[in-house]
Amino acid sequence: MTDFQQQPQPYYPPRPPYDPTQPVSTEPGTTIWPSGGQVPPPTVTPPPAPAAAAPLPHRRARRGVGLLAAVAIAAAVIGGGTATLVQQLTADTAPAANGVSGTNVSASSKGTVSGVAQAVSPSIVEISATGSSGKSTGSGVIITGDGEIVTNNHVISGASSIGVQLSDGRTYQAKVVGTDPDKDLALIKLEGASGLKAATLGDSDQVKVGDEVVAIGSPEGLTGTVTSGIVSALDRDVTVAKDDGQDQQQPQYDPRQGWPFEFGGQEFNGDTGSSKTTYKALQTDASLNPGNSGGALINMDGEIIGINSAMYAPSSSNGSSAGSVGLGFAIPVNTLKADLDGLRDGGSN
């Protein structure tokens, strides 16, 4: 043999200067390879998955509450921006509030005087009635889109012409459809009107003493005046004159001094005469003044609960009216609803 053949064969590739490390076994199904050398990827054998259990409803609810609570805590630290986000999240989980049809108060403004005023003011009008005894100003409530308007009988009684101004400044002429002097109610109709915003008539039987209310009308010709207060009493017996000037023994009234009425055996704002009628009224401390007659008394959902009809204004030292002292009266809307068909048929005209 040659020398080449006598030399031992080299090992290829060369052996490392140390013995290869051995894997360390832990619990069954898991193998851990020590660091160093060429380490193959870990081999993990997952244990068998347990049978899926049905989710418990209360756990999901807790998670939602916990999430909202966590966001609320973060909002308190970060400030108003996150607080708004919390409100949005909670609002998304709450049922949507249904608005009131007709005179609709938005969900964000519901229960506020400004929200009620914004929703209902387009349905309240100013009425100018001209007759033999002069010109008087009152208010009215639109109840149909084509211009049916409810007001007090004493506002339009004896009028030869009736002008109506809407909240947006448009003016119309109106005709009397029907009157009911016994209830001090009247129905008039605008000529050539359409697309008007009609008010929503509520339920006066649900009204309670202490309920917040808003009054809208045109006192002293100040169109769209808004006042607020509460219902201070129910079922007040209020007596008013039926017709202006139809009873020859009845004096001619200056409409700017308010419509006379009786309550508790006393006369207010002048002599009611011999032709008069009594009705059950809602009493309110919302400020009413001459010109509010025929306007609306409204609950905080934007529903009409009464037609304003009388107010007590004590005389000042010079004999003129001293203005409202928080004793106003309104015809309950359920009285109007029960009488509406009769008014549309002409009433007791």
What are 316-335's pLDDT values in tens digits?
A: 555 555 556 788 999 999 99
Whole-number Å distance between alpha carbons of 111 and 217: 20
CA 125 to chain centre: 20
Q: Are strands 303-311 and 200-201 parallel, antiparallel or unpaired?
A: parallel
pLDDT of 111 reads: 82
pLDDT of 108 reads: 63
- Supply the residues annotated as catalytic: 154, 184, 293
| Residue spans of the chain under pLDDT 70 | 1-109, 243-273, 313-324, 349
Residue 344 main-chain phi, psi, to 5 deg? -70, -25
pLDDT of 133 reads: 77
pLDDT of 246 reads: 43
Whole-number Å distance between alpha carbons of 342 and 191: 21
> Tokens 């409803």 correspond to what residue?
57
pLDDT of 151 reads: 97
Both structure tokens of 275: 């032709």
Whether the pTM exceeds 0.95: the reply is no
pLDDT of 208 reads: 98
Beta strands in the chain (DSSP E): 24-25, 30-32, 43-44, 124-131, 134-142, 148-151, 159-165, 171-180, 185-190, 200-201, 212-217, 225-241, 261-263, 266-268, 276-284, 296-298, 303-311, 328-332
CA atoms within 13 Å, Cβ hemisphere of 331: 32
DSSP letter string, 64-116? HHHHHHHHHHHHHHH-HHHHHHHHHHHHHHSPPPPPPSSSPPPTTTTTSHHHH
Beta bridge partners of 171: 165
